Chains A and B, each alone.
Chain A
Amino acid sequence: MNLTSKPLAAIILIILLGGISLSTAMGWWQTESTKVAATYTEGEFAGQANPADIRGSYTFGDVEKNFGIPAVVLAQAFNIQTENPATFAAKELETIYAESEFEVGTASVRLFVAFYNGLPIDISTDMYLPQNAADLLKNRNLTAEQSAYLESHTVPNPAAASDSPEVDPAQTAESAPEAEATQSAVTTEASTERLVKGKTSFQEILDWGVSQEVIEQIMGMPMPNPLTKVKDYCAEKGLDFETIKAALQIEVDKAGQ
C-alpha cells in the first residue's frame, strides 16, 4: 500500500488529536499535578503521603490537605505575609528568598513537612529552612541527626519579614537576642565549616588545602574554572554528586587535620 502526503497528514492529525481526545475521555490526560502526593511504598510509613512528592505548584492549602499541617503554620514558618496563606504556592518561596545565601524553595517545604510530621526524608542533599521554621520545629520530636541537620541548615528570615504580623511580637521580643545570637552562630558556622555542599565551588576546596591534582583524580577529569560549583559540574558531566562529594569531603578532612 502506498501513502501520499495528504492522507499521511490526515492520519497524523487523527492519531495525535484523536489520541489526546481519547485519553481525555479516559481521564488520563493530566497537564498539571493532581495535587495528591504519592505515598511511601514500603516500610513503616507505607501508604502515607510522601513529602518528597511536594511540587512547586502545590499551595500551602494543598500541603494542608495532604499532610494536615495548617496553611497558617506553613505561612508562619516561611514568613509569608498574606491574608490567604492557603493560596500561596511553594515555588514562590524562591522569589521571596532570592537574597538568601542558600536556596529556600520547594525542597525546604518538603523538609519542613517531613520534620514537622516525623516522616522520613532523604537529607543527604542540602535543603535550608528559615529561622522561623527552625524555631517551630524545635518543639517537634526530632532525632539527634535531624536536629544537627537543622542546626547547620538554617538561614536568617528574609529582611522584609522581620516585622511579620504572623509571629507573636511578645515571643519575638523575648527571643530576639537569643535568635540574633543563634543566627550569628549559624552564619559564622556556615562561613568557617569545611563541608562540601551543593553550593561549594572548586575554589573553596582548593582553599581548604586539597590540591588540584587530588581533585582531578577524584573527578576523573580536568578541573574546570575554580569558581564552578562542584554540584553543577557533576550534573553537567553526568557524575554522581553524592559520590564525588563524599570523596572530596574525606580529602578536605585530611587536609584540615
Chain B
Amino acid sequence: MKLFGKRLFRPRSIWIRKIVQWFFFLLIALISVNHTLVENGGGIPFLSTASLHALCPFGGVVTIYQYATVGTFVQKIHESAFVLMIIGFVLAFLFGPVFCGWVCPLGTVQEWVAKLGHKFFKRKYNHFIPAKLDSVLRYARYIVLAWVVYVTATSGTLIFAEYDPYFALFNFWSTEVAIGGLIILGATLVLSLFIERPWCKYACPYGAVLGITNLFRVFQIKRAESTCKADGACSIMCPMNIAVDTVKTVRDHQCISCLECTSEAICPVAKTVVFTTGAVK
C-alpha cells in the first residue's frame, strides 16, 4: 500500500496466489462432487461432470507412449487430459511450474496444513530433514516418474490411480478410491505438519516433469547482488527450501514459481529479487 508515493505496507505473502489456489481447489472439488452426483442420478446444473482423470494433466503425460504407439489413450484418460498437459507445458515453458505453485489443489491443501506446522514448530518447521539427505531425496520423484511411465506403458492401465493422493483427495467418498491412495494422502497430510509440500518435494511425478523447465523457462527468478542485503529472508520464506540468497538466477528443479521470495513479498529491498526475462545487476 502506498501513500504520497511512499510504501506503508509491504505484503509478506502473494495474496493473489492464495485466491487463485482457492479458486481451483473449489472448482475441482465441485466438479468431483458433481461427477458422483451425476452417477447417482443427480447433478449440479451448468457445472462439468468430468471425472478427475479427465482433468489431470499428468494423465496426458502417462498416455503419451500408448498414444504414440497404438493411437489410443490409456483407459480412463481422455483428450482433455492431453489438452491440459499441453497447456501445463506452455505455462511451464514461460513461467516454470506455476501449475504446482498456483493451480494444483493437492499443493494447496499441503500449504493449508503447513500453516499449522508453522504455528507448532516456528522456525524449526520445514527444516527437520538433514540437508544432505534432503538433497538426495529430492530426486526420488524422478524415480516415481520413471516407474509410473513404465508401468502405464507396459500395462496399458492407469496403475498410478491406485496410489494417487490427488485422486484420493477428491474421491475419498467414492468406491473408486484405492486404499493405497488414501494411505499416501494421509501420510502426505501428516508429513505436511513437519515439512512444507512433502509430496511435491519427494514424490510428485508431474512436478518432476514440470521442474525440468526451471532450467530454461522464459521468466526466471533473479537476485540483484548489488542491492541484496543478504539477510536470507528469501531463502527462509521459500517453501521448497531453495537457497535463493546464494544464487543470481534460480534454476533449481524444485522451484514452483510461487514468487514468495521476491521483492513483492518477503524481500525487503525493492527490485532485488524479481521475476523477469532480463538481466539484473
Spell out B's residues near A (CB within 8 Å).
14, 16-17, 19-20, 48-51, 54-55, 70-72, 75-76, 78-80, 82-84, 86-87, 90-91, 94-95, 98, 102-103, 147, 150-151, 154-155, 159, 219, 259, 264-265, 271, 274-278
A178 to B98, CA, bound (A): 65
Residue tally, chain A, CB below 8 Å to B: 30
Q: Which of A19-74 contact B (CB under 8 A)?
A: 19-20, 23, 28-33, 38, 41, 53, 55-56
Report yes or no: A12 in contact with B83, Cβ–Cβ below 8 A. Answer: no
In the assembled complex, which residues on chain B have CB atoms less than 8 Å from the CB atom of A29? Answer: 79-80, 83
Whole-angstrom distance between the Cβ of A42 and the nearest chain B Cβ: 11
Residue pair B219, A12 in contact (C-beta under 8 Å): no
For the complex, give the distance between the alpha carbons of A2 and B86 in Å: 25
Report the minimum CB–CB distance from B11 to chain A (whole Å).
9
A20 to B91, CA, bound (A): 13
B151 and A235 within 8 A (CB): yes
Known contacts A2-B274, A3-B275, A5-B17; A15 and B154 CB within 8 A of each other:
no
Residue pair A28, B79 in contact (C-beta under 8 Å): yes
**B90 x A23 contact (CB < 8 A):** no
Q: In the complex, given contacts A3-B219, A15-B90, what are 10 additional A-B residue pairs having Cβ atoms less than 8 angstroms apart?
A: A3-B276, A12-B91, A12-B95, A19-B83, A31-B48, A32-B54, A38-B71, A55-B75, A235-B155, A238-B151
Q: Give the distance to chain B from A90, nearest Cβ to Cβ, in Å.
A: 12
Q: Is the CB of A12 within 8 A of B147?
A: no
Q: In the bound complex, what is the Cα–Cα distance between A6 and B15 (angstroms)? A: 9
Which residues of chain B come closer than 8 Å to A19, judged between CB atoms?
83, 86-87, 90
CA gap between A32 and B39 in the complex, in Å: 13
Contacts of B48 in A (CB 8 A): 31
The answer to the question of A227 belonging to the interface, with a C-beta cut-off of 8 Å to chain B, is no
- Docked Cα-Cα span, A51 to B261, in Å, equals 54
- The residue in A12, A33, A238 that gathers the most chain B C-beta atoms within 10 A of its C-beta is A12
Residues on A with beta carbons closer than 8 Å to the beta carbon of B90: 15, 19
Identify which of B20, B76, B79 contacts A9 (C-beta below 8 A): B20
Q: Nearest 7 A-B pairs (CB), nearest first?
A: A31-B50, A31-B54, A30-B79, A19-B87, A23-B83, A5-B14, A38-B72
From B16, B102, B265, give the contact of A6 (CB < 8 A): B16
A23–B14 Cα distance when bound, in Å, is 30
B72 surroundings in chain A (CB, below 8 A): 38, 53
CA distance A56 to B78 in the complex (A): 13
CB distance from B155 to the nearest CB of A (A): 7
Q: Report the minimum CB–CB distance from A179 to chain B (whole Å).
A: 32
Which of these, A3, A9, A238, A240, contacts B147 with CB under 8 Å? A238
Answer yes or no: A1 CB below 8 A from chain B CBs: yes
Interface flag for A8 (CB, 8 Å): yes
Task: Give the complex CA separation of A238 and B274 in angstroms.
Answer: 43
Tell me how far the C-beta of A238 lies from the nearest C-beta in chain B, rounded to whole angstroms.
5
Is B147 a contact of A30 with CB atoms below 8 Å?
Answer: no
**Complex formed: what's the CA distance from A110 to B125 in Å?**
52
Tell whether A4 is near chain B: CB-to-CB under 8 Å: yes
Tell me which of B55, B87, B277 has the highest count of chain A C-beta atoms within 10 A of its own C-beta.
Answer: B87
Contacts of B86 in A (CB 8 A): 19
CB neighbours (8 Å) of B219 from chain A are 3
